[in-house]
């Protein structure tokens, strides 16, 4: 058992920290055994010690029921030494397991280790874990464990906030679904369709009418267009995933459609609902809402991996103080001395006031400065909301070609985008809150088992220092001052 003083210390930290303030959490044993439900339970409880993995569930009104992963769910629980194959065998088709092994994914990440047994049990889940911790693979493996490719119907739906994230998730799903050595006629393969904002959707309409895909990856706007016109039917949907769930609920444009999808277009009784994000502020409240609003079943499980480290610990955070006029030269000097493999420079969206004043957007100014004065070999690309979808897609696919890049981006690139070669993040403008800091910083450090250091640098004026300090307190990290 965890000593009560250690447990109290952890609870105190969790209480202080708004992203993980569930005081009804349970400590999970470091070693969970793969075993039948009837054996090993005493052994497990005797091994319960302090661990940074917390899983909680909340029941309506009383919040009295708590489930932790040491309780066997779906017939087994996961051991820390188990491979992904050990956890998934018999549930996920073998060709999918072979694909993940070919990609080099042998061991599960912490969230996968904790979540997969619960997902396989069919329970609704909230996957709450660090950026870059492999939440996508966790929910995709669950989808592959339940879909029946012989049936011609939409069986899984993944809703994402941006086109870029949708393209990325669909790409991973297609990689996993591919059956390279399978004769085409022998087995119907899994079909994956994207319904993303910015597409014409004409091609998808005819496809949907001819033969529904097995999995749809969609942004909520495009999806609802199809649902309202009755072009898609969700009667056979057995898994619904909402990725970046806090973002979706915070977006005034997306929230009402999202609520409709959760309540009117499908039912909690016929689907498994999975929410995912690295940030679920006030997650107790969110759990309560999930049950009260009937977005999930009452036994929804909140799986919170590494709650006391909301960001990957190998990120090195620093800040540079300079005047606003000096920011461009400071950025260029840093790029010169850091010589990043690849980098993302985050710039805030132009304010209405600045637009009215006729100023150039900061993204353009930074792009010009880089194009004129940066001496490295990097491809310099721009990703922001207001450029057209084709240019956005072009930037995004170029990033994935493999060469070194510097991406100048607004927060549109802050959510979910997975560019594992990014070694440096620069906040040219300070993010507007701690959640934005967390997601921007989380665009680096995305190789779960790598030890290499990644750097997040914020450029600020001396007056802004206290704002960054607030983020440090909220997210519990330390930022070092740097000098040029």
Ligand X SMILES: Nc1ncnc2c1ncn2[C@@H]1O[C@H](COP(=O)(O)OP(=O)(O)OP(=O)(O)O)[C@@H](O)[C@H]1O
CB of residue 136 vs ligand X: minimum separation in angstroms? 3
User: Residues 269, 7: contact at Cβ < 8 Å?
Assistant: no
Structure tokens at 312: 């990957």
Binding window for ligand X (CB under 6 A); candidates: 180-188, 214-222, 257-265, 445-453? 445-453
Q: Does 166 sit near ligand X (CB under 6 A)?
A: no
Provide CB contacts within 8 A for 121, sequence distance 6+.
73, 74, 75
DSSP one-letter code for 188: P
Q: Give dist(CA 98, CA 470) in Å, integer.
A: 45
Q: Does 164 sit near ligand X (CB under 6 A)?
A: no
Q: Using the minimum distance from each CB to ligand X, give the nearer residue, 29 or 310.
A: 310
Q: Does 134 sit near ligand X (CB under 6 A)?
A: yes
Q: Using the minimum distance from each CB to ligand X, give the nearer residue, 117 or 448.
A: 448
Q: Give dist(CA 81, CA 138) in Å, integer.
A: 17
Beta-bridge partners for 193:
216
CB of residue 432 vs ligand X: minimum separation in angstroms? 18
Binding letters toward ligand X, positions 98-127, x by CB under 6 A: -------x--xx--x---------------
Q: How far apart are the first and last CA of the chain?
A: 50
Q: Using the minimum distance from each CB to ligand X, give the nearer residue, 283 or 328.
A: 283
Q: Give dist(CA 140, CA 465) in Å, integer.
A: 41
Q: Using the minimum distance from each CB to ligand X, give the nearer residue, 132 or 361.
A: 132
Binding residue (CB under 6 A) for ligand X from 442, 445, 457, 471: 442
Beta strands 405-409; 343-346: pairing state: parallel
Q: Does 304 sit near ligand X (CB under 6 A)?
A: no
Q: Could you tell me how many residues of this chain bind ligand X (CB under 6 A)?
A: 21
Q: Does 422 sit near ligand X (CB under 6 A)?
A: no
**How far is CA 270 from its chain centroid?**
25
* Strand boundaries in 79-214, DSSP class E: 125-128, 156-160, 192-195
Least Cα distance to 149 among 187, 102, 101, 116 occurs for: 187
Binding window for ligand X (CB under 6 A); candidates: 1-9, 91-99, 216-224, 446-454? 446-454
Q: Does 160 sit near ligand X (CB under 6 A)?
A: no
Binding residue (CB under 6 A) for ligand X from 29, 93, 117, 132: 132
CB of residue 278 vs ligand X: minimum separation in angstroms? 4
Beta-bridge partners for 243:
276
**How far is CA 400 from its chain centroid?**
18
Provide CB contacts within 8 A for 102, sequence distance 6+.
none
Binding residue (CB under 6 A) for ligand X from 88, 307, 448, 479: 448
CB of residue 97 vs ligand X: minimum separation in angstroms? 12
Binding window for ligand X (CB under 6 A); candidates: 8-16, 188-196, 205-213, 416-424? 416-424
Beta-bridge partners for 346:
409, 427
DSSP H helices, 178-219, are 202-210
CB of residue 327 vs ligand X: minimum separation in angstroms? 26
Q: Give dist(CA 170, CA 163) in Å, integer.
A: 11
CB of residue 207 vs ligand X: minimum separation in angstroms? 27
Q: Does 431 sit near ligand X (CB under 6 A)?
A: no
Binding window for ligand X (CB under 6 A); candidates: 56-64, 336-344, 356-364, 412-420? 412-420
Binding residue (CB under 6 A) for ligand X from 238, 248, 278, 456: 278
For residue 267, the SS3 value is: coil
CB of residue 299 vs ligand X: minimum separation in angstroms? 24
Q: Using the minimum distance from each CB to ligand X, give the nearer residue, 14 or 129.
A: 129
Report how far apart, in Å, the C-alpha atoms of 232 and of each of 166, 266, 330, 357, 474 are. 18, 12, 51, 45, 42
Q: Give dist(CA 354, CA 362) in Å, integer.
A: 10
Binding window for ligand X (CB under 6 A); candidates: 174-182, 209-217, 441-449, 467-475? 441-449
Least Cα distance to 277 among 294, 295, 302, 252 occurs for: 302
Binding residue (CB under 6 A) for ligand X from 53, 131, 254, 395: 131
Binding residue (CB under 6 A) for ligand X from 51, 68, 133, 342: 133
Q: Does 416 sit near ligand X (CB under 6 A)?
A: yes
Q: Does 418 sit near ligand X (CB under 6 A)?
A: yes
Phi and psi for 416 in degrees, rounded to 5?
75, -20
Q: Using the minimum distance from each CB to ligand X, give the nearer residue, 243 or 268.
A: 243
Q: Give dist(CA 313, CA 454) in Å, integer.
A: 10
Chain residues binding ligand X by CB under 6 A are: 84, 105, 108-109, 112, 129, 131-137, 278, 416, 418, 420, 442, 446, 448-449
């Amino acid at each position: 058992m965890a000593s009560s003083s250690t447990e109290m210390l952890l609870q105190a930290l969790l209480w202080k920290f708004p992203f993980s303030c569930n005081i009804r959490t349970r400590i999970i044993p470091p070693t969970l055994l793969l075993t039948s439900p009837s054996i090993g339970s005493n052994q497990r409880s005797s091994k319960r010690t302090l661990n940074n993995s917390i899983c909680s569930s909340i029941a309506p009104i009383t919040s009295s029921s708590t489930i932790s992963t040491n309780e066997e769910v779906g017939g087994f629980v996961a051991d820390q030494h188990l491979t992904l194959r050990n956890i998934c065998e018999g549930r996920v088709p073998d060709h999918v397991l072979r694909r993940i092994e070919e990609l080099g994914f042998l061991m599960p990440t912490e969230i996968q280790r904790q979540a997969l047994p619960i997902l396989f049990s069919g329970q609704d889940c909230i996957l709450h874990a660090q950026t870059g911790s492999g939440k996508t693979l966790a929910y995709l493996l669950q989808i592959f464990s339940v879909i029946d490719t012989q049936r011609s119907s939409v069986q899984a739906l993944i809703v994402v906030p941006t086109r870029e994230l949708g393209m990325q998730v669909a790409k991973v799903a297609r990689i996993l679904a591919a059956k390279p050595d399978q004769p085409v006629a022998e087995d119907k393969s899994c079909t994956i369709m994207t319904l993303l904002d910015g597409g014409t959707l004409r091609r998808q309409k005819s496809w949907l009418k001819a033969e529904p895909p097995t999995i749809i990856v969609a942004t909520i706007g495009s999806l609802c267009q199809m649902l309202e016109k009755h072009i898609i039917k969700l009667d056979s949907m057995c898994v619904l995933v909402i990725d970046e769930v806090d973002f979706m609920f915070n977006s005034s444009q997306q929230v009402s459609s999202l609520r409709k999808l959760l309540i009117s277009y499908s039912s909690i009784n016929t689907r498994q609902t999975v929410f995912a994000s690295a940030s679920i502020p006030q997650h107790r409240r969110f759990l309560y809402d999930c049950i009260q609003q009937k977005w999930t079943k009452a036994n929804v499980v909140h799986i919170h991996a590494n709650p006391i480290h909301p960001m990957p610990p190998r990120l090195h955070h620093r800040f540079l103080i300079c005047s606003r006029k000096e920011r461009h030269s400071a950025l260029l000097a840093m790029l010169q001395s850091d010589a990043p493999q690849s980098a993302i420079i985050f710039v805030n969206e132009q304010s209405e006031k600045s637009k009215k004043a006729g100023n150039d957007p900061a993204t353009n100014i930074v792009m010009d400065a880089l194009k004129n004065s940066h001496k490295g070999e990097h491809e310099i690309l721009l990703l922001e909301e207001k450029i057209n979808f084709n240019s956005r897609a072009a930037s995004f696919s170029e990033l994935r070609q493999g060469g070194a890049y510097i991406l100048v981006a607004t927060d549109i690139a802050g959510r979910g985008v997975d560019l594992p070669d990014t070694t440096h993040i620069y906040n040219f403008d300070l993010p507007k809150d701690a959640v934005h800091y967390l997601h921007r910083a989380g665009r680096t450090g995305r190789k779960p088992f790598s030890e290499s250091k990644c750097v997040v640098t914020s450029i600020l004026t001396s007056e802004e220092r206290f704002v960054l300090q607030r983020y440090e307190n909220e997210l519990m990290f330390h930022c070092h001052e740097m000098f040029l």
